[in-house]
Amino acid sequence: MASQKKLLLVVMDGVGSRADSFGNAVKMAYTPNLNFLKENCFYTELKAHGTAVGLPSEDDMGNSEVGHNAMGAGRVFAQGASLVKEAVLQGALFSEKIWTELMGELKSSQKTLHLLGLLSDGNVHSHEDHLHRLIKEAAKSGVKRIRVHALLDGRDVSAQSAEIYLERVEKIFLEVRETCDAQVASAGGRMKVTMDRYNANWEMVRLGWETHVGAKGPVFNSPLEGLDFYRKENPQIVDQDIPPYVIRDQKTNRPEPIRDEDSLILFNFRGDRSIAISRAFEEENFSEFKREPNPRVQFFGMTQYDGDLKIPKKFLVTPPLIDNTLGEYLCHLGLKQFACSETQKYGHVTYFWNGNRSGYFDQSLEVYKEIPSDLLSFDEKPWMKAYEICEETIKAMKAMSFDFGRINFPNGDMVGHTGDLAASVSAVATVDLMIGKLIKAATASGYSLIVTADHGNCEEMFDLKAGENFSPKALKPKTSHTKSPVPFSVFDPNFDTKKFKNLAKDPTLAHIANTVLCLLGEKPRECYFESILQVK
């Protein structure tokens, strides 16, 4: 059953709202269409970080995963960061059967426990505290040999901060060294190895396999020595772009590969950048690249990254069960849906929007369009695939082929992560241009538009510590997300700005689902947070 009203939700990924124009790519960009929406249409701002999206505290930045979960679910679930923090730091994980059995096997076999993941306290994909506790508890359980494979961040934390986290984990090694041989075995930037997502670049995953499993690559005596080498080679290099390297084992004086019967825990808790490497470890008939070497390894995820595909099969912390999502409910109502983005964010308008669920609810009612992303650094082509996403969407609008659509422009986030202010300004201007095209298409077709974002990023491109005196030397690129609120605009093709009334107090991303139902003329769901607005 088609709806008489039709609606498109536009997510400007990583475009937050911040009053200060200094280092603010959104304020610096030419944005006549965003200005029009703010000045002439229904406009408010939404909270998109911390407890409002299911994260442990108000100090936690929002991210695309939890943002799209909240939008699609219409309410807040305790996210991986919260669940893992509680399970690890409160100790419940270490009394679970899966952990005690693994520790018993490692103790009796004298095999190595490998710990692979993002080494930082960004708390978006992982947290160093979880790694530290895993090392301590494994050593306490009698594990004699631990090797850490450190993915360097510079994206969810300061651009050049890897030495802080490497030094901290070295202190943990010292704490357990009397009973356990613990060392870093390999390292590399998260955007160079291992942490690919959505099948965008399997070569990146293959290089990670070669580095972590095969112990192949440039060899250094310590992880800090390798970091220092690449920093001297390129003083401006961001940690996420550090090439992969391996570390000489302190006992054998050579890099050591992962061997048969070793065990590996991927200690990242976020799913999108964990699935590809998990598949490489688990799939018997894996065909994306040749795994050389290919040891028989017991593989565990910190949590299960895809509940439908059961990736991975073994995991330490049960993920949140997100049910009754908006996408599923709209299918129940018989409404047609459209979802589109390029590869970098395609899973966010499908998998994460649908509550960490792969596939369709009803393929006869849903159309998902993925535009393949370019394999380029995002600052080299800040417009990315915005035009192609826009054209696909306008074509569907002209055909009146969907009742509710959702699209994601990744530019503000992916370019913002590079720390390049000029490129980020271009990225925002590109998105604004596409929104202008969508406003024209909506006017012609009768669609309404919601224009919002999932979290902040490119509105704060410099990392200045509180209390630090301003100087050119103090300017450091900020490559992480932010805690800024995000814009929320509703464009009605009839230009009737008086028909909407503010309803929700302190609105968040989780208030969007019932707002969508309101604008479609459907009854609100009691299980969702209230609508942001009311139609008079």
Structure tokens at 84: 């893992």
Distance of CA 507 to the CA centre of its chain: 22
Q: Which amino acid is at 422?
A: A
342: nearest Cα among 382, 378, 385, 381: 385
The token duo for 176 is 């357990």
Residue recorded with tokens 């390894």: 297
* Three-state DSSP state, 238: coil
- Six token digits for residue 57: 């505290």
Does residue 341 carry a catalytic annotation? no
CA-CA distance, 380 to 245, in Å (whole number)?
25
Instruction: DSSP for 98-156, please give it.
Output: HHHHHHHHHHHHTPPEEEEEEESS--SS--HHHHHHHHHHHHHTT--EEEEEEEE-SSS
Q: Are 71 and 348 in contact (CB under 8 A)?
A: no
Cα(105)–Cα(109) distance, integer angstroms = 6
Nearest Cα to Cα of residue 78 among 295, 274, 322, 251: 322
Omega within 30 of 0 (cis) for the link into 472: no
Number of neighbours of residue 86 by Cβ within 10 angstroms:
15
Helix (H) or strand (E) holding 317: strand 315-317
Q: Can you list the alpha helix ranges (DSSP code H) found in 245-297?
A: 275-282
- Among residues 3, 17, 64, 161, which one is catalytic? 64
Tell me 482's DSSP state: B
Strands (E) in 41-107, as ranges, are 42-46
Catalytic residues: 64
